[in-house]
Structure formats: C-alpha cells, structure tokens
C-alpha cells in the first residue's frame, strides 16, 4: 500500500489520518473535529465524517475501524464528535450492525491517550462531554488491561502516552510509552512501517512554576512519526504533530534536543495550535502587532526541516488581520521556514480553495513526501492537456 497522511478540513481543529505502507494499510487517526454542521445534510461545512468513513477499512462484521486513535489533548476542537461517530465501550455492545454503513460507529481497536494531559487540561477548564466520554473509555481499557494482565483484544487495547503523577502509571509497563522513547507497536503488533518518537507531554515537574507553565501552555501529546515508504525505505518521511502545544513547551523541546536536532527534524509539520502565534511567541499578536517577538528557541524547535519540508495549518483560512489562531504572522514564520527548505505551506481551510474545501492528502514515496498535485483552473488544465500532446523534444 501507499503510505498517506490526510488532513481533513475541520476549521480550527485537527483531524489527521495516517495510513501505513504495510499490506493491511494500518490506520492511525489523530484527533477528530466533526462539527454538527458537517453532520447536517443541509449544513455548509463539508461532510468530513463521510470523508473519513470512505477512507477506513471494514472488519469481518462490516464495521468501519481504525487500528489506533491518538487524542493529542481533550479540547473540544480535537475530540468533537467522538461520542457520536465512534463506538466507546466493549465491542460486544456494538449497536450499529443493522444500520447503513454511513451511520455505523467507527471501532477504535487501540486508544492512544495521555492521563497527564487530561489532568493538566482539567486544571484550566471543565472538559466537554466528548472528552469525558473518551476519558471514561480510556479508563475502562486501562482497568481491563490491569485485570487481564495486559492480554486483551481489538477494541480493548490502549497505549498510555507519558507517565502520570504519583506513580499512578508505574504498573502499566507493557502499555506505557515513555517520553523521549520511540516505539513501533500499533494495535498490539510490532510494525516495520512506522516508528513514533514521543516528545511530550513532559513528565510532571516538582518545580511548581515549571509545572504551571506546562498546564497553561496547552500540554499535548507531541510525536515525531517516521513513516516507511515501502519495505526497503523505512525512513520515507517524518511527520511531527503536537496538538495545541504552545511556546513554553516548544522552547523546552529545543532545550532538551538542541544537541540532537534529528529528534525534531521533519518532512511534514502540523503547525501547532492551528497556526497560532502563541506557539512561537509569548507576546500577543493582537496587542503587540509587528512588535511581537518570536521566541528563538521555540522557533528552532519548529524549524528543523529536511529538504522540501512542508508545513500544514489545520485551521480556518488565514486572513491578514488580528486573528489568532490562525495568525498571519505565524504563517509568515512558517513560510520563511519552508522557503529555506525549498518546501511548501498549506492551510486546510484554503485547500484547494476556501469556497470548496477538500481533504488534503500527502503521499510518502521513496523520494520523500509528495504534496497533492496542483489543482489547475479550467483554462490552465486545458493548456496542459494541449502541451502534453506536443511531442517531447527528446522523445
């Protein structure tokens, strides 16, 4: 199979599907943001739930499924629609076998979730219903793993991202993934087609000020995922994604990894927090305007590009005004970063144009990451057809 990374147009929010190059086309979904308007046939938003189901495999019972689902952090724009579109609870209670495919809930064979990210998020706000439902399901799976000595099946699996406080996750060895370590297991199987380096959430810090900053800066799971292009090309492309992590966290990433920049190196970066200025600066864009200063260390953490690197903002269209996110000044920084790498910048809310958005699909090949082929206007496309008919000079 061809490895792909698909960004769905979900306004300011994330919903990203990774498919591996293995014969099973193993699927990892990172976050969802399926708005009511996208589910409403009369709504203006694109039907991204259909876009997603169209790309998923069906199991032996005809149920759509993902091999793994990572929730970067429990804010609404990262888990909206999870209770409506995904089956939460034991697989034996699956309710939709008699329904049409489009109405069947999606099975999550393995959850990837971070208790410390939930803990930090609950300190700043009340979690939304989708986040609570997801958390209940994650806790059910952790408990079942304890009860069954980690021998569980599809629909009961979970990987815990990062250690929790007070040794709460110390007994979860086989399902705990530690910060600064890489892993290659997905849904209980070792895969030769991907490896994920876990960069955050940083472990709880005894220094109260440091911990308070981690809480305030939208702690999220940050992962640098290496996707194989094929069996011979394990390092096809590196994709770094980090939810809504803000400037303090990226600053700390540089502090931790500046002597090993390959840890932060990427071919494709999901611009954190929907292209927010707050991932690059402590200053407010709307208050300081052009006087707002970039945090050089956070910028360094976010600019370890490989040749041809691409940055994607999963956001509304980016306007030249005071908005944030997405923020025009952040876009300018990312444009400068990709220009140095001879790469490109994309925004999901503008692809292929802001009036009629579509999923944005990148393919991983042995020559690196390939952006979608450019959509041409009618006249231009016709011109290309004409020129294609002209014999090649060296034909």
Binding site for Zn ion (CB under 5 A): 77, 244
Closer residue to Zn ion (CB): 56 or 330: 330
Q: How far apart are CA 261 and CA 251, in angstroms?
A: 13
Closer residue to Zn ion (CB): 236 or 243: 243
Tokens representing 54?
């169209």
Closer residue to Zn ion (CB): 127 or 152: 127
Closer residue to Zn ion (CB): 67 or 244: 244
Q: How far apart are CA 71 and CA 49, in angstroms?
A: 17
Burial class from Cβ neighbours inside 10 Å (0-12, 13-18, 19+) for residue 269 reads: buried
Query: In whole angstroms, how close is the CB of 83 to Zn ion at the nearest point?
Result: 18
Query: In whole angstroms, how close is the CB of 324 to Zn ion at the nearest point?
Result: 12
Q: Using a CB cutoff of 8 Å and minimum separation of 24, what contacts does 40-46 make?
A: 45/11, 46/9, 46/357, 46/358
Closer residue to Zn ion (CB): 51 or 77: 77
Query: In whole angstroms, how close is the CB of 61 to Zn ion at the nearest point?
Result: 33
Closer residue to Zn ion (CB): 11 or 137: 11
Closer residue to Zn ion (CB): 228 or 271: 271
Question: Where on the phi/psi map is residue 228: left (φ > 0), alpha (ψ -120 to 50), or beta?
Answer: beta
Query: In whole angstroms, how close is the CB of 329 to Zn ion at the nearest point?
Result: 18
Query: In whole angstroms, how close is the CB of 241 to Zn ion at the nearest point?
Result: 12
Query: In whole angstroms, how close is the CB of 212 to Zn ion at the nearest point?
Result: 20
Query: In whole angstroms, how close is the CB of 202 to Zn ion at the nearest point?
Result: 19
- CA nearest to 257, candidates 206, 218, 301: 301
Burial class from Cβ neighbours inside 10 Å (0-12, 13-18, 19+) for residue 139 reads: middle
Closer residue to Zn ion (CB): 243 or 308: 243
Query: In whole angstroms, how close is the CB of 220 to Zn ion at the nearest point?
Result: 9
Closer residue to Zn ion (CB): 244 or 295: 244
Neighbour tally for 284: CB within 10 Å? 13
Tokens representing 350?
């503008």
Query: In whole angstroms, how close is the CB of 285 to Zn ion at the nearest point?
Result: 17
Q: Using a CB cutoff of 8 Å and minimum separation of 24, what contacts does 116-120 make?
A: 116/162, 116/163, 116/164, 116/165, 116/201, 116/203, 116/204, 116/219, 117/72, 117/73, 117/74, 117/161, 117/162, 117/201, 117/219, 117/220, 117/221, 118/74, 119/164, 119/165, 120/201, 120/214, 120/215, 120/219
Query: In whole angstroms, how close is the CB of 244 to Zn ion at the nearest point?
Result: 4
Closer residue to Zn ion (CB): 213 or 314: 314
Maximal C-alpha separation, the chain = 71
Look at the alpha carbons of 214, 220, 221, 222 in this order and tell me if their dihedral is positive or negative. negative
Which CA distances in Å does 326 have to 5, 123, 287? 21, 25, 15
């Amino acid at each position: 199979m061809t490895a792909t990374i698909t960004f769905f147009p979900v306004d300011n929010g994330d919903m990203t599907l990774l498919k591996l190059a293995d014969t099973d086309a193993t699927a990892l979904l990172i976050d969802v943001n399926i708005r009511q308007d996208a589910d409403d046939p009369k709504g203006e938003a694109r039907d991204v739930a259909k876009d997603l189901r169209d790309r998923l495999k069906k199991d032996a019972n005809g149920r759509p499924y993902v091999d793994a689902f990572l929730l970067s952090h429990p804010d609404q724009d990262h888990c909206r629609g999870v209770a409506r579109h995904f089956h939460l609870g034991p697989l034996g209670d699956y309710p939709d076998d008699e329904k049409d495919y489009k109405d069947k809930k999606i099975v999550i064979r393995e959850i990837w979730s971070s208790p410390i990210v939930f803990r930090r998020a609950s300190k700043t706000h009340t979690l939304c219903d989708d986040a609570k439902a997801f958390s209940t399901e994650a806790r059910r799976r952790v408990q079942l793993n304890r009860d069954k000595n980690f021998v569980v099946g599809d629909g009961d699996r979970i990987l815990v991202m990062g250690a929790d406080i007070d040794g709460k996750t110390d007994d979860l060895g086989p399902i705990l993934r530690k910060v600064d370590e890489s892993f290659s297991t997905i849904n209980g199987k070792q895969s030769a087609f991907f490896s994920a380096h876990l960069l955050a959430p940083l472990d709880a810090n005894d220094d109260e000020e440091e911990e308070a900053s981690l809480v305030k800066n939208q702690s999220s799971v940050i992962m640098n995922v290496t996707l194989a292009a094929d069996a011979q090309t394990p390092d096809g492309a590196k994709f770094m994604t980090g939810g809504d992590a803000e400037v303090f966290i990226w600053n700390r990433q540089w502090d931790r990894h500046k002597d090993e920049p390959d840890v932060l190196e990427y071919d494709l970066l999901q611009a954190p927090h929907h292209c927010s200025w707050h991932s690059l600066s402590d200053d407010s864009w709307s208050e300081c305007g052009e006087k707002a200063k970039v945090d050089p260390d956070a910028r360094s953490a976010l600019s370890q590009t490989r040749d041809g690197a691409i940055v994607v903002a999963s956001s509304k269209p980016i306007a030249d005004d005071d908005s944030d996110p997405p923020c025009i000044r952040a876009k300018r920084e990312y444009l400068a970063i990709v220009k140095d790498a001879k790469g490109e910048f994309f925004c999901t809310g503008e692809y292929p144009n802001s009036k009629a958005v579509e999923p944005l699909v990148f393919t991983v090949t042995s020559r690196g990451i390939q952006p979608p082929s450019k959509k041409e206007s009618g006249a231009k496309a016709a011109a290309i057809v004409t020129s294609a008919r002209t014999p090649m000079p060296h034909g």
